[in-house]
């Protein structure tokens, strides 16, 4: 064997540095191409789950209606006063037995019975004399949460580092649409003050609509829409007070509006630090509570899900006509529109 043959025989096998860099570059390009597709597939799955949650809620609403001959109250408040005790019961509370959450419902019902027995359970806060039932503490409800969100948590923390003192009750990504365009109108309706009856929605304080009252048609009227759970430091998506962004939501602004929500000027409602438009959480703190309002919001690209009164769920684009969207929130204004937004 000559020298040249021996060199060929023992030549090392492997990549050169240039070849290795080329392979790495190709892998990087493939990952860059595939990652958006993977993320899109994951969001598509989350969106399907989110819509399924709303459909389950829709079934619950109709089961409740079949039993009680009306949809549940949007909120319960003594004597119609917007902040009258107990204040914290909401459409979500009434729906619990109809979405396989009987034990949790019984815990809330025990709290309601405690209140009606003369002990006032305050809407949000613990105190030693009026402790909440332990079964409701820190218990999320998966059917009320959209997997595309999660920034605010499944329950609101009750420690001093966040929204200190709050009972750790469940948060929600789906809010009932209330009458009017802001808190002032919703409150006026509940208290018997001057109110434009054409702005009446399915839900109100101490009121839930009957199907035969929805003269615009159940397939043209929104019952619930998506909202966000905010951050761990605020009460957005924490439905235990009769204010915008917690329990009350309106169709006065289109989905995912760039216009900020007008929320109570309070450290756990909205502050400059809690105004986070980059997270689709824009807000302006306002002291005049009657002007407070909140728009439907989600983390889905391009729109939000809405539950119609017939139990169907549609996806509504951010670009939906503002007047169409607004009238879909009102049940007897004489306007019927197509709900096909998917």
The phi, psi pair for 40, rounded to 5°, reads -65, -40
- DSSP at 248: B
**pLDDT tens-digit readout, 194-247:** 889 999 999 999 999 999 999 999 999 999 999 999 998 899 999 989 999 999
Query: Domain segments of the chain: what residues?
Result: 48-328
What is the pLDDT confidence band of residue 160, given thresholds at 50, 70 and 90? very low
Instruction: Decide: helix, strand or coil at residue 316.
Output: strand
- The whole-number pLDDT of residue 81 equals 83
Interatomic CA distance for residues 82 and 98, integer angstroms = 26
Rg over alpha carbons for the chain, rounded to the nearest Å, is 25
The phi, psi pair for 325, rounded to 5°, reads -60, -45
Q: Is 35 a residue whose pLDDT tops 80?
A: no
Task: Give the residue among 172, 173, 167, 207 at the shortest CA–CA distance from 71.
Answer: 207
- The whole-number pLDDT of residue 23 equals 75
Interatomic CA distance for residues 8 and 270, integer angstroms = 75
Interatomic CA distance for residues 298 and 172, integer angstroms = 12
**pLDDT tens-digit readout, 93-147:** 999 999 999 999 999 988 888 776 666 666 565 554 556 788 888 899 999 999 9
In percent, how much of the chain has pLDDT > 90? 62
- DSSP at 75: E
Interatomic CA distance for residues 213 and 291, integer angstroms = 27
The phi, psi pair for 69, rounded to 5°, reads 65, 20
Task: Give the residue among 160, 166, 161 at the shortest CA–CA distance from 123.
Answer: 166
Q: Is 187 a residue whose pLDDT tops 80?
A: yes
**End-to-end Cα separation, the chain, in angstroms:** 76
Cβ(80)–Cβ(188) below 8 Å: no
pTM metric for this prediction: 0.85
Region label for 338, one of left (φ > 0), alpha (ψ between -120 and 50) or beta (otherwise): beta
Q: Tell me the longest C-alpha to C-alpha distance in the chain.
A: 108
């Amino acid at each position: 064997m000559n020298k040249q043959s021996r060199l060929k025989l023992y030549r090392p096998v492997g990549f050169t540095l240039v070849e290795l860099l080329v392979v790495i570059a190709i892998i990087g390009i493939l990952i860059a191409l595939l990652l958006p597709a993977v993320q899109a597939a994951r969001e598509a799955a989350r969106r399907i789950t989110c819509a399924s949650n709303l459909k389950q809620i829709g079934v619950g609403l109709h089961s409740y209606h079949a039993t009680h001959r009306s949809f549940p109250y949007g909120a319960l408040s003594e004597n119609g006063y917007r902040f009258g005790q107990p204040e914290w019961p909401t459409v979500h509370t009434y729906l619990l037995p109809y979405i396989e959450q009987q034990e949790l419902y019984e815990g809330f019902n025990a709290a309601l019975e405690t209140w009606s027995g003369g002990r006032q359970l305050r809407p949000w806060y613990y105190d030693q004399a009026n402790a909440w039932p332990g079964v409701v503490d820190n218990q999320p409800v998966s059917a009320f949460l959209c997997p595309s969100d999660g920034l605010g948590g499944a329950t609101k923390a009750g420690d001093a580092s966040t929204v200190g003192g709050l009972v750790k009750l469940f948060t929600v990504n789906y809010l009932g649409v209330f009458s009017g365009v802001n808190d002032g109108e919703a409150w006026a309706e509940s208290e018997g003050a001057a109110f434009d009856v054409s702005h009446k929605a399915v839900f109100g304080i101490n009121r839930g609509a009957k199907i035969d009252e929805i003269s615009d048609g159940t397939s043209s009227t929104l019952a619930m829409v998506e909202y966000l759970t905010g951050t761990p430091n605020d009460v957005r998506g924490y439905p235990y007070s009769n204010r915008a962004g917690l329990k009350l939501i309106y169709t006065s602004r289109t989905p995912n509006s760039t216009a900020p929500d007008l929320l109570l000027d309070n450290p756990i409602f909205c502050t400059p630090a809690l105004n986070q438009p980059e997270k689709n959480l824009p807000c302006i703190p306002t002291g005049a509570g009657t002007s407070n309002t909140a728009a439907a919001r989600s983390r889905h690209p391009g729109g939000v899900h809405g539950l119609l009164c017939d139990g169907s769920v549609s996806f509504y684009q951010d670009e939906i006509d503002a007047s169409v969207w607004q009238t879909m929130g009102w049940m007897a204004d004489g306007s019927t529109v197509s709900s096909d937004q998917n």
